Amino acid sequence: MPGSLPPPILPGATLGVLGSGQLGRMFTIAARQLGYRVQIYSPDTDTPAGQVGDVEVAAPYEDLERVREFARAVQVVTFEFENVPSATSRACAEVVPVRPDGEVLHITQHRLREKTFLAENGFPVTPFRRITSLADLEAAARDLGLPAVLKTASFGYDGKGQQMIRRPEDLPSAWSGLNGAEGIFEAFVDFAKEVSVVAARTAEGQFAAFPVFENTHAHHILDVTFAPAHLTEAQTQEAVRLAQGILEALKVVGLLTVELFVARDGRLLVNELAPRTHNSGHLTLDACATSQFEQQLRAVCGLPLGQTQLRQPAAMANLLGDVWLQAGGTPNWAAALEDPDIKLHLYGKAEARRGRKMGHLTAVAATPEEAVAKVRQARDRLLRAL
């Protein structure tokens, strides 16, 4: 029937994942629990996702014939990070559905396209300018003021490709720091906190959002997340409303994360989009009936979305490679787990490096503050001598 939706992709089918990190690993575990098979595609071997998938294809993203061969072996393709080349997504789409589709990837993997899309569709963002020369940068600083943030337009995450500009005399060195890449100049936001909304949408338009997460960062990398966020009811509703509007404007089929600033005057501003599961949503593994990874699976396979309410307030603490370095080797896992409310999730990465995400801890408790205290204390206990 013309215009009818495709049938759901049911358990027993084979799913394809572009990217092979920890997000792909946890998606694959969720898919295996529901009876799906999973194939992983990335340039690497013995990866976090490949360790738990049925098949790990190690080939360059630019090898489009190999990409098409991968797509012919699966019923749908999704991705676990947005820096997959657009040509790779398009090659998959010649063979099977890609969810979210390549246009969502194209917009969200480029900060300037993303901000332009948001502004043109009426979503609140900080003022910004495209930067292709020192003259552009000087004009933006005059027009939008300092301090400000200069970012590379492409391939940035965890603070990579970002620099703060505080004084006019910093402009030449900031421009040099782009190394000739296209940049985006963003007016500084005096924010009180950062929050995120992880939400899913099906091809039929069903929408579901997880509770708003409140995030704290260390050295531009997410450190601790808790939910529910400390927001007014009106702010919570507005955050979810913005997320739903963005998913609908992008026609997302799958899962997308909206990162927001809460300005000191109470306004919400959209900071970034991620067309995938998110570090801040890891606590859903232990705090919600449906995790963000199962929700991604349900959305891309055309299944009804799962329940997103918190069973209890919850928190998550990231485990970076720094913990291994500080411990002088293997952290004291037993000490961390002395609190029976603590859950440990490790990603199967062989080498611990400074700033590398190696795992996380979660806890549920009567209040968000108690949950945060639990995960922080458990992380501190990892450094106790064995």
Token readout for 70 is: 């991968």
Task: Judge if 143 and 236 occupy the same domain.
Answer: no
pTM across the whole model: 0.95
Task: Judge if 144 and 61 occupy the same domain.
Answer: no
Task: Judge if 80 and 49 occupy the same domain.
Answer: yes
Task: Judge if 175 and 196 occupy the same domain.
Answer: no
Which of 201, 278, 303, 305 has the alpha carbon at shortest distance from 246? 201
In the prediction, which pLDDT does 1 show? 46
The answer to the question of residue 115 being in a domain is no
- Distance (Å, whole) CA 305 – CA 33: 16
Q: How many domains are contained in the chain?
A: 3
Task: Judge if 86 and 148 occupy the same domain.
Answer: no
**Dihedral sign, Cα of residue 288, residue 294, residue 299, residue 305:** negative
The answer to the question of residue 46 being in a domain is yes
Task: Judge if 262 and 201 occupy the same domain.
Answer: yes
Q: Which domain holds residue 159?
A: 127-187
Task: Judge if 225 and 281 occupy the same domain.
Answer: yes
Q: What's the Cα-to-Cα distance from 326 to each of 76, 320, 343, rounded to whole Å? A: 42, 10, 21
Task: Judge if 213 and 174 occupy the same domain.
Answer: no
Backbone angles phi, psi at 242, to 5 degrees: -65, -45
Token readout for 66 is: 């190999």
Tell me, what CATH number does 43's domain have? 3.40.50.20
277 contacts 80 by C-beta, under 8 angstroms: yes
Task: Judge if 63 and 145 occupy the same domain.
Answer: no
360 contacts 282 by C-beta, under 8 angstroms: yes
The answer to the question of residue 174 being in a domain is yes
Tell me, what CATH number does 280's domain have? 3.30.470.20
Task: Judge if 251 and 331 occupy the same domain.
Answer: yes
Residues of the chain with pLDDT under 50: 1
Task: Judge if 198 and 321 occupy the same domain.
Answer: yes
pLDDT tens digits, 75-101? 999 999 888 998 999 999 999 999 999
